[in-house]
Amino acid sequence: MVEIGEALPPTATFATGYRIHPVVGRIPHPGELDLRPNPAEVETVLTFSLDLLREGYAIRRLVRRGVAVHTPTYEVEGHLIWGATARILGDFLERSEMA
C-alpha cells in the first residue's frame, strides 16, 4: 500500500512543454509491491535510498540535441537521472532535509 504524502511544485519539461505534477508517496517495503508502470510513460522503476541519491548528485555538462547544457543529475548504481526527473528529485530531497 502507498501512503500518499504531499504534492511537490509542478515541474515543466523543456522538450515537450508538459507540466508534471508530482505527488510524494511512501512505500514501506518496495520489494513487496508488484509495480507495473505504463511503458508509454515510465521507462524504468528505480528504488534507491535517499542517501544514495544525495551522494550521486552533481551538475554535469550534457549534450542534448546538439546543445550543451549544465544541469542537475544523479548518478546511482550506473543509472543517470537527469531532466525533469532530476529537478523533481532535487525539490523532494530539499524538502526531506527540512522535515
User: For residue 58, what pLDDT is reported?
Assistant: 97
H-only helix segments in 1-99? 50-55, 83-98
Dump pLDDT digits (tens) for 10-53: 999 987 889 999 999 888 877 777 878 899 988 888 888 899 99
Q: Is 74 exposed, middle or buried (0-12, 13-18, 19+ CB in 10 A)?
A: buried
Q: Which of the pair, 59 or 97, is modelled with greater confidence? A: 59
CA distance 21 to 38: 17
Retrieve residue 69's grid coordinates: 547544457
CA 86 to chain CA centroid, nearest Å: 5
pTM: 0.84
Q: Which domains does the chain have, with CATH numbers?
A: 3-98 (3.90.79.10)
Q: Which of the pair, 94 or 65, is modelled with greater confidence? A: 94
